[in-house]
Amino acid sequence: MILKELNNCRQAAVLAFAAVLSMSAPSAWPHNRTAEEAGAGSRVITTPSTTSEVSVVMGKKIVRQLYTTCGLDISYLDVPAARAVMMAEKSQSDGELARIPMAVKENAPLLPLHIPIETARLVPLFLNSESAKAHSGLAGKRVGFLNGYRMIAAVLPEDVTRVATTDTFQLVSLLKRQRIDVALTLEWDALAARHHNPEMVIGEAMLESPIYHWVHKTRQEDVPCLSEALSEMKSGGELQQIIREGIESGPP
């Protein structure tokens, strides 16, 4: 009798296990995709981990929309700025969020989209108009900047006092406490800072370059669709709206 009951329990367990397997089988997945097909539609994109940056937040929103339009799922791998592009260059991701061409190694296995996302401008940010006049040149000044961005090295004189920070919020704080004379940041982040601090002054761009989303060459088939999606976002005004809303609502 006891053996019979054990056999019945064993049979019930086998049936239950079979039911679980049938639920997790490929035919039960959304859209009937196999595991290989599901993986083929996923992408991992490296991005600077300073997620409070208006420029990074906007970039993530724009790039995610591009991939969604092309029927692809993406996840972001947030790492320090310098490491983000290095990982993409070393084939450790499917692409990099956004960089200007000079920030990507010439022989890197990365392909830019056919058109840039926008034009990136590196600008000086001053506490007020008096500070802007007193510190119009960088030579001999205390200069705050975002750590990990290769473009900074192209514009900083050797005799400046360099103060590296992780985000524009810290740059604004240092300016207000007069710990630095000028902050170098992307124009979008400077505009967001001035939106919340109207007395601040943005100087003329010290570096200007188109900024692209980069795709690893193993995913080069994504480039045409992503490029077309970006073109439609720009022509339809959606990209400009994302930028405008980001500047008005983002920190600091």
Each domain of the chain, given as residue ranges in start order, spans 35-119+213-249, 120-208
User: What is the model's pLDDT at position 63?
Assistant: 98
Confidence of residue 33 (pLDDT cuts 50, 70, 90): very low
Q: Which CATH class is domain 35-119+213-249?
A: alpha beta
Place of tokens 């207000």: 176
The two domains 35-119+213-249 and 120-208 share their CATH topology (first three levels equal): yes
Residue-wise pLDDT tens digits, 225-252: 999 999 999 999 999 999 999 998 866 5
pLDDT band at 53 (very low <50, low <70, confident <90, very high): confident
Nearest CA among 148, 141, 193 for reference residue 166:
148
Q: Which two tokens stand for residue 209?
A: 């370059």
Token pair recorded at residue 163: 């103060």
Strands 118-126 and 207-216, how do they pair?
antiparallel
What whole-number percentage of the chain has pLDDT above 70? 83
Tens digit of each residue's pLDDT (9 = 90 or more) over 85-107: 899 999 999 999 999 999 999 99
Averaged over 180-204, what is the pLDDT?
A: 94
Give the global pTM: 0.79
Q: What is the 3-state secondary structure (H, E, C) of the chain?
A: CHHHHHHHHHHHHHHHHHHHHHHHCHHHCHHHCCHHHHHHCEEEEEEECCCCCHHHHHHHHHHHHHHHHCCCEEEEEEECHHHHHHHHHCCCCCEEEEECHHHCCCCCCEEECCCCCEEEEEEEEECCHHHHHHCCCCCCCEEEEECCCHHHHHCCCCCCEEEEECCHHHHHHHHHCCCCCEEEEEHHHHHHHHHHCCCCEECCCCEEEEEEEEEEHHHHHHHHHHHHHHHHHHHCCHHHHHHHHHHHHCCC
Residue in the block written with tokens 């056919």 = 114
CA pair distance 229, 161, nearest whole angstrom: 43
Class of domain 120-208 (CATH, top level): alpha beta
Residues 6+ apart with CB under 8 A from 59: 47, 97, 98, 117
| Each residue's pLDDT tens digit, 140-154 | 999 999 887 777 877
